[in-house]
Amino acid sequence: MAEETTTPQQQAGAGRAPRGGQGGGRGQGGPRNRRPEMAPEEKQFDERVVHIDRVARVVKGGRRFRFRALVVVGDRKNRVGVGTAKGADVTAAVTKATEVAKKHFVTVPTHNGTIPHEVEAKVSGARILVKPASAGTGLIAGGTVRVVLEVAGIKNALSKSLGSSNKTNAAYATIAALQMLAPANTWVTAGDKPVKKAIKKTEKVEA
C-alpha cells in the first residue's frame, strides 16, 4: 500500500481551529457593538436662502469673484430677520448672512393669524403693501415677500409689490412694513375712549 505524505503547510493547518466555528470567530460571536443612533435635533430657526449672486471686484491683477447671499431667518413665532453678506464661496456667504439675520430679529404683532392692519413701506426702489386676510385665505404673496411672511409665522395675508423687483430691497421693505405694525391692544376705538365726566353747573347765588 502506498504511504500518504503530508506537506509542512498541511500539518500546520491541521492544528488551527476553523474560522467561524468553535474557535470564537466573527461568525459565532454576538452582534457588533454599534454606536447608538443620535436623534436629529430640531432646528430652532427656519433658515431660507432667498438669493445667491456672484459679484466681482476689479483689482490690480484682474477681477476677484465672490458670492453674495440673501438669507431670511425666523422661528415661525412672530420673529423674523433678514441678512445679506459676502464670502469667498457659497457656504461662507450663507453662514455670514445667517448670523447677520439672527442679530437683527424683528418681533411681528399678529391678530388671529394675520397682521393687525394694512401697512405699506418703501426701501430704495421697492415698495411693498401688506394687508390682513380672513382665516383660510393663506398667503397671497410671491417671491421674497412670501418667504418673509412664512418664516415669521403669519398664516393669512395679502401683499402686493408696487415697485422694483430687486429681491434684497423687497426683503428689507417687507421687514420695514412689519416693523410699522401696531399691536391690536394699542388701538384706540370708540368703545375704548374714556367717558367724559359731566360737569355740574353751579348757579350763582345772588347776594
Instruction: Check pLDDT > 60 for residue 157.
Output: yes
Q: Mean of the pLDDT values across residues 33-60?
A: 79
CA–CA distance, 106 with 99 (Å, rounded to integer): 14
Instruction: Check pLDDT > 50 for residue 1.
Output: no
* pLDDT at position 43: 73
Instruction: Check pLDDT > 80 for residue 26.
Output: no
User: Tens of pLDDT along 136-149?
Assistant: 999 999 889 999 99
CA–CA distance, 88 with 109 (Å, rounded to integer): 37
On the 0-12 / 13-18 / 19+ scale of CB atoms within 10 A, 84 is: buried
* pLDDT at position 187: 73
C-alpha cell, 106: 424683528
Instruction: Check pLDDT > 80 for residue 34.
Output: no
C-alpha cell, 30: 454576538
C-alpha cell, 10: 498541511
Residues 6+ apart with CB under 8 A from 103: 81, 83
Per cent of the chain over pLDDT 90 is: 57
> Do 81 and 107 contact (CB within 8 A), yes or no?
no
Confidence band for 131, pLDDT divided at 50, 70 and 90: very high
User: What is the average pLDDT score of the chain?
Assistant: 80
1-10, 126-135, 182-191, range with the lowest pLDDT? 1-10
- The pairing of strands 139-140 and 157-161 is parallel
> Do 87 and 70 contact (CB within 8 A), yes or no?
no
C-alpha cell, 163: 415697485
CA–CA distance, 141 with 126 (Å, rounded to integer): 15
